[in-house]
Amino acid sequence: MRIGTNHGSLSDRIMSRFGDSPMGMVESAMEFLRIARDEQYHQIILSMKSSNPLVMVQAYRLLVQKMATEFGECYPLHLGVTEAGDGEDGRIKSAIGICSLLEDGIGDTIRVSLTEDPEFEVPVCKDIVARYAGACQLQPATDDARRPLEISTEKISWDPFHCQRRQAVAVGNTGAAQVPVVIAAMSKINLTDAAQLQPVGYSYDAASDKWNIGDMAADYIYTGDTVPTFALPGTVQLVSSYSCWQQHKKQTIPYLQPGEYTTNHQEVANITHFVGITSQSLTTELTALLKNDANAILVAEHGLPALQHQEQPFTAPLQALRGLCGTLVAHGINNPVVLKVTSNNTTVDKQLITFATEAGGTLLDGFGDGIWLENHEADIANTQITGRTYLPVSNNAQFLNNTAFSILQATRTRISKTEYISCPSCGRTLFDLQETTAKIRAATNHLKGVKIAIMGCIVNGPGEMADADFGYVGSGPGKITLYKGKEVVKKNVASETAVAELIELLKENEAWVDIN
Ligand code: SF4
C-alpha cells in the first residue's frame, strides 16, 4: 500500500496545525502509518509529492528523520516532483527533487511526471537511475522492506530541514541578498561579432546602436584566454583567465586558479577577482588568504571526476559541492560562491540531470550566489530531449544559459520567466493538455514571475496546484474553470474561449503586461 501525501491537498485539520508545510505533509503520512503499524501491517511505501522541489526534498528528509526517531526503522520511499510541467523545465525540476534525495541515499522508486506522452517519462527515469547504478546494491528479499535506521550524530554546518541562504558578503553584484548571478561560458567561442551575444540574452541593434537586454541575460561572460573584439553592453562583465587579464587589465576581471591566487593574491587584492576552489585545493594557506580577502568571488567545483553514468563508481558530486560550501561556513569564509558544474555527458537529457542535480541540489540547501555551467559537447543545436525538440536553442551557449536560468527558477532563487505547474494528464483529463499548455505558454510566457497551473480535471486539479497564482482547470467536457489562487473566479467557460478569458483574468489582476 502506498501512503501518499500531496503538498496541495492536505486536510483542513493538518492545515490548521501545520499549514501547507513539509512538516504538515509528514504528519499527514505519519497518522496513517501509525494506524497501519498498530495493525502489524508493514507492506507500505510512502510518497511526499510537491511541485516545488524544495518542499518535496524537505518533506522526505523530515519523514526519514521522523520514522527513525519514532520507529527506529524506515519504510521505502517513492520519489517524484508532481506537476513538474514539460520540456526542459519539467526535467530540471524533476532531477533537482529526485536526485537531491537519491544522492543522499534517500529513495527506493521514482517517477518523473511530465505533461507529455507517458513514454517520454521513462527514458528520463532511466537516465536518473543510471546515474546511481554504481551506488546501489541489491538488498536481500524480506517479508517487507523496512530497514533499521539510526539518526546520525555528525554535526553539519547547515540545516537540511529549513533552507536558509548562507550569509555571504557582497562583492559587486554578487552575494549578500542579491539574486544569484549567471556566468555564461564562452571560452570556446572567438567573439568577433555582437550578434554572438544574442544566445546569452543581449541583442544588438546596429541601426540604433543599442543593446536590448532580455530577462535571461547573463551577468558575466567567461572568455578564457581571449577578449571580444567589440564593445560589450554595460550590464555584463567580462571574466578571463589570469594570464589574459594581465594583458587586458582594464577590460576583464581575473579568474585565478588556487596556485595562481596563492602566488599573486597581492596583485589582485584591490580589484574584484574570481578564485577557483575545490575541497582538495582548500589548503590552510588558501583558507587564511581567503578569510582576509574582501574582493574575492569563489568559484566552487566538486573536484571529482565528472560522472559518465554507469561507466564509473558513483562519487556523490552533490555531497562534495555542498560539503565544500559547508566547509567555508565552518572556516568563517563569507565570500560569495559561484557553483561551477561541468558535464561530460553525451546527451542533452543527461546533461540537464547533471546540471540540475549538482547546481540545483546545492542551491536548495541555501548555498550558491551564482551558477556557471560548462560542458564538453560543442554542438547542442537541434539536438532533442528524449525524442522531442524542446529547446529553441541556436547553440551551446544558449543551452547552457537557458539551463542556468531554469535551475535558478526551479529552486526559486531567481525568477526570470513565467512558472507553469501542469499535471501529467490521466484518464480523467478533460481536454488536450499538451496542446492547451502550449497555447497558454505561447500567450503568457513573457509574464515573469507569474505562476500558472494547467490541470486536467476538477477532481484533483485544484488540490494539487498548490501555490499557483492562477489556475486553468478542466471541469467538464469542453468546459474550463478559472482560479485566482485557490478561489474559483469563472466557472464552466467554453474551452474555445478559455485562454482569452484567462488573459482577461490576468489583466483584471494586474498580472498582465503587453509585449512591446
Ligand atoms: S487529470 Fe486530474 S487526476 Fe489526472 S493527472 Fe491531471 S489533475 Fe491529476
For the chain, first and last CA: distance in Å? 53
| Residue 378 pLDDT exceeds 50 | no
* 306-313 contacts at long range (C-beta below 8 A, 24 or more positions apart): 306/342, 306/343, 306/344, 306/354, 307/131, 307/344, 307/345, 307/354, 308/344, 308/345, 309/127, 309/130, 309/131, 309/133, 309/345, 309/350, 310/130, 310/133, 310/134, 312/134, 313/134, 313/135
Q: Which residue has the higher pLDDT, 314 or 260?
A: 260
Beta-carbon contacts of residue 478 (< 8 Å; ≥ 6 apart): 430, 431, 494, 495, 496
Beta-carbon contacts of residue 437 (< 8 Å; ≥ 6 apart): 85, 86, 115, 420, 422, 454
* Strand duo 77-79 + 181-185: pairing: unpaired
Task: Indicate if ligand 1 lies below 6 Å from the C-beta of 459.
Answer: yes
Q: Cell 537557458, residue?
A: 402
CA distance 354 to 351: 5
| Residue 461 pLDDT exceeds 70 | yes
C-alpha 461 – ligand 1 centre gap (Å):
6
pLDDT of residue 395: 77
| Nearest Cα residue to atom 3 of ligand 1 | 460
| Residue 379 pLDDT exceeds 60 | no
Taking a C-beta distance cutoff of 8 angstroms, is the pair 135, 314 a contact? yes
Global pTM? 0.92
CA distance 113 to 100: 16
pLDDT of residue 148: 80
Taking a C-beta distance cutoff of 8 angstroms, is the pair 433, 453 a contact? no
Taking a C-beta distance cutoff of 8 angstroms, is the pair 156, 104 a contact? no
Task: Indicate if ligand 1 lies below 6 Å from the C-beta of 251.
Answer: no
Residue-wise pLDDT for 73-104, tens only, equals: 999 999 999 888 888 899 999 999 999 999 99
| Residue 117 pLDDT exceeds 90 | no
Instruction: Summarize the confidence of residues 20-34 as an average pLDDT.
Output: 94
**DSSP letters spanning 45-69:** EEEEEBSSHHHHHHHHHHHHHHHHH
Element (H, E) at 403: helix 396-410
| Residue 273 pLDDT exceeds 90 | yes
Ligand 1 probe mutation, 457, 472, 483, most atoms within 8 A of CB: 457
pLDDT of residue 314: 67
Amino acid (one-letter) located at 15: M
CA distance 419 to 422: 10
**DSSP letters spanning 291-355:** HT-TTEEEEE---SPPP-SSSS----HHHHHHHHHHHHHHTT--S-EEEEEEE--SSHHHHHHHH
pLDDT of residue 141: 47
pLDDT interval class at 152 (50, 70, 90): confident
Largest CA distance in the chain: 77
pLDDT interval class at 107 (50, 70, 90): very high
Q: What is the mean pLDDT of the chain?
A: 90
Task: Indicate if ligand 1 lies below 6 Å from the C-beta of 430.
Answer: no
CA distance 257 to 271: 16
Residue-wise pLDDT for 424-456, tens only, equals: 888 888 888 888 988 999 999 899 999 999 999
**Main-chain dihedrals φ then ψ at residue 139, nearest 5 degrees:** -85, 145
Lowest mean pLDDT among 111-120, 125-134, 303-312, 378-387: 378-387
pLDDT of residue 143: 57
CA atoms in the 13 A half-sphere facing the CB of 23: 6
Residue-wise pLDDT for 199-241, tens only, equals: 999 999 989 889 999 999 999 999 999 999 999 998 999 999 9
Ligand 1 probe mutation, 455, 458, 472, 475, most atoms within 8 A of CB: 455
Instruction: Summarize the confidence of residues 351-362 as an average pLDDT.
Output: 95
| Residue 490 pLDDT exceeds 90 | yes
Instruction: Summarize the confidence of residues 23-27 as an average pLDDT.
Output: 95
How many degrees, rounded to 5, is the angle at CA 447 between CA 443 and CA 449? 140
Beta-carbon contacts of residue 356 (< 8 Å; ≥ 6 apart): 91, 92, 93, 95, 96, 99, 403, 407, 410
SS3 assignment, position 93: helix
Ligand 1 probe mutation, 49, 81, 425, most atoms within 8 A of CB: 425
pLDDT interval class at 147 (50, 70, 90): confident
The three cell numbers of residue 363 are 542551491
Task: Indicate if ligand 1 lies below 6 Å from the C-beta of 8.
Answer: no
pLDDT interval class at 54 (50, 70, 90): very high
